[in-house]
Chains A and B, each alone.
Chain A
Amino acid sequence: MHVEFFGVPRERAGISEMEVQATTLGQLFGALAARIPGLHQFIGADGLHPALAANLNGDRFVRDPETPLAPGDCVLILSADAGG
């Protein structure tokens, strides 16, 4: 599936998007933690740091690692404190 980064995750990842194979949100988190060392502080296989948020297809925000993902999904990873 497609992953897009915004805010600090984009800064730390050094890229704005990437493709990842995963069938659950937890798998995706694990893959991101393994592939992007700069995100270690924020992402582990067990979940996201509260400072980050994940959104599925621009529609709903998700945190539960068991959340199923489909191949055509787009997951947005962003700073949770979106305001200011």
Chain B
Amino acid sequence: MFGYHGRYLRVDVSRGKADYVTLDESVLRRFLGGSGLGVHVLLAEGAAAIDPLAPDAAIVFAFSPLVGSPLTTSAKFAVVSRSPLTERVNDSLASSGFAIAGKSCGCDAIVIVGRADKLSVLVIDDGVVDRGVDGGVRLESAEEHRGATCRDTEAALRARLGANFRIASIGPAGEHLVRYATVSHDGRHAGRGGSGAILGAKNIKAIAVRGTQRVEWAHPRAVTELSRDLSKRSLGPATAKYRELGTATNLVTFNRFGALPTRNFQSGTFEEAAALSPEQLGATRAKTRASCVACTIGCEHIYAGVRVEYESLFALGSLCGIGDADAVLQASRRCDELGLDTISTGGTIAFAMECVERGWLDQPWLKFGSADALLRAIELIASREGIGDLLAEGSRRAASVIGHDSIAIAPQVKGLEIPGYEPRALQTMALGFAVGARGADHNRSGAYEIDFSDKVDRRNVTLDAVRHAIETEDKAALMDSLIMCKFLRGVFEDFYAETAAMLHTVTGWDVSADEMRETARGIVAAKRQFNLLAGWTPAEDTLPERFLKTALPNDPVASLSRERLDALVAEYHRQRGW
């Protein structure tokens, strides 16, 4: 078999036991890797019926056929589990050397079950399982790293184990089982859905991998030629935004379109948006750029040492009513250090701020616009102290405690806090959020692209939008399984044919564009199958009542009724054949 090892490494950290489990070629061809393979393995492990924070729960670190190849942006891995935040499927992706080193351990995925008896680091040294507890797969104490930030943990473990180890770790938030804690590696994060809490529940502070086992490619020369061509195209106009400005530039654009979520979605415009623009961030701060391993785009724009992304700026800025750029950067830095998903952190804090404003929550210090309150709340959440213990549960669970029908303003779908796209102003995206397998998600549905095109009227979409939303969801599923960075999506002229060619050069499979399209749909269907087993009901495919009862105050045309959303969702299910 080319491109794969044909097996995954299953580690039971309760028993200190590791085994390889065979992956048939037919399975790999259907699910590819990353998100798709992760969901398949989860289904095989019966994870849909298990409390994600229970010892028996499985968490999958899935690699892909392209990892380790010179194809640009392919050094990525997926962390797949049942989410402790949503209790539905969760696939979060992160980048860089962990993917290459993990696959070099001789496996296409690492599955962890069980619970270590003390805080530990799982060391996978070339994945050789027959060396016993002191050999290729072992647990070492991580007690000395308890409470350490992700970055400090990574640095300390590389110093201890060897510089050629690559480390994925959790911060204090994961140790405290914050339901939206991240798994972090090299400054990147498998951010959404609480993968960090699962590792925390397993007493796993970090996973350290290094290996020497490389796969062979079916057509090495063709891989090199395709890689060269793709790298060249990755430096063209289609990725200029990411190279020159980064995603932070979205904030001012979205504000102009009245689509920038502000003060817990009470408005689509923020009067201080300009203060958070790349131009202003760069005016008085040192700026550098960086990229993931094996990436030619280099989308990371770092201001005063803080990597800035639109989603963090919106969630910790406009959503909380904060235009103080220094405070937003500090909040973003702390979330990264503590291992918190910035979107869910900002969303949950903004929700609490509105509850305080309405008199539903007695925390008078927690006010929109207060940078001190934002920073204080972040620390409390990560440590689960005071009100932080409630907010660490996410906005949906917090609403069930706060009462007062606050669930209507909890900014979440299936429990996952909504990213920075105002659903009433971007209604194809509203559909994408409503039907998303892991909840409201801009990485699994790229439907906002349709709203920013001449294909729909973004504030009054019709059923014609549904096919476009499905198309973006299918493409995302394929990219997340191959795996390639979505910032490449604009460089493809014939997405399915070109990705089929890539897969062919690596695996030798005679795959067609049509097969790739079917594979994408099959992966989306597998996520739905998982959710059905986990208890999904059609009532979950919706948006909070706020969006369906109230037009956007800054743009009354932007109105989305329950009847229209329901019709869109029904048509989505019909076209999916569900």
Contacts and interface: CB of A to CB of B under 8 A. Distances in A.
Interface of A: 4, 6-8, 11, 41-42, 49-51, 53, 55, 58, 60-63, 76, 78-84
A50 B239 CA distance: 11
B24 to A, nearest CB: 36
A81 B244 contact: no
A7 B547 CA distance: 28
A84 B489 CA distance: 11
Interface in B434-457: 442, 446, 448-449, 452-454, 457
Interface of B: 237-238, 240-242, 244-247, 249-250, 252-254, 256-258, 309-311, 421, 442, 446, 448-449, 452-454, 457, 487, 489-490
B436 to A, nearest CB: 14
Contacts of B421: 83
Contact of B257 (A49, A58, A80, A83): A58
Given A51-B237, A82-B449, 13 more contacts: A7-B253, A8-B241, A50-B238, A51-B238, A51-B490, A58-B257, A61-B452, A61-B454, A63-B454, A79-B253, A81-B489, A83-B449, A84-B310
Contacts of A62: 454
A12 B286 CA distance: 21
Q: Determine chain A's interface SS by DSSP, over half rule.
A: loop
B149 to A, nearest CB: 25
Contacts of B442: 83-84
Contacts of A41: 237
A82 B254 CA distance: 8
A81 B299 CA distance: 13
B237 A6 contact: no
A83 B453 contact: no
A60 B245 contact: no
12 contacts: A7-B245, A8-B244, A50-B238, A51-B237, A51-B240, A58-B258, A60-B457, A61-B453, A62-B454, A79-B249, A81-B238, A83-B421
Contacts of A78: 253, 452
A6 B454 contact: no
B240 A53 contact: no
Given A6-B256, A84-B309, A53 B453 contact: yes
Given A41-B237, A80-B452, A83-B449, A50 B245 contact: no
B309 A53 contact: no
Contacts of A63: 454
A1 B311 CA distance: 33
Contact of B250 (A4, A58, A60, A82): A82
Nearest to B426: A82
A11 B257 contact: no
Contact of B245 (A4, A11, A42, A49): A11
Nearest to B453: A61
B309 A4 contact: no
Residue of A8, A42, A50 with most chain B CB atoms under a 10 A cut-off: A8
B490 A50 contact: yes
Nearest to B455: A61
A81 B254 CA distance: 12
B452 A53 contact: yes
Nearest to A64: B454
Contacts of A58: 256-258
A42 B242 contact: no
A42 B446 contact: no
A61 B241 CA distance: 19
Contacts of B256: 4, 6, 58, 76
B452 A11 contact: no
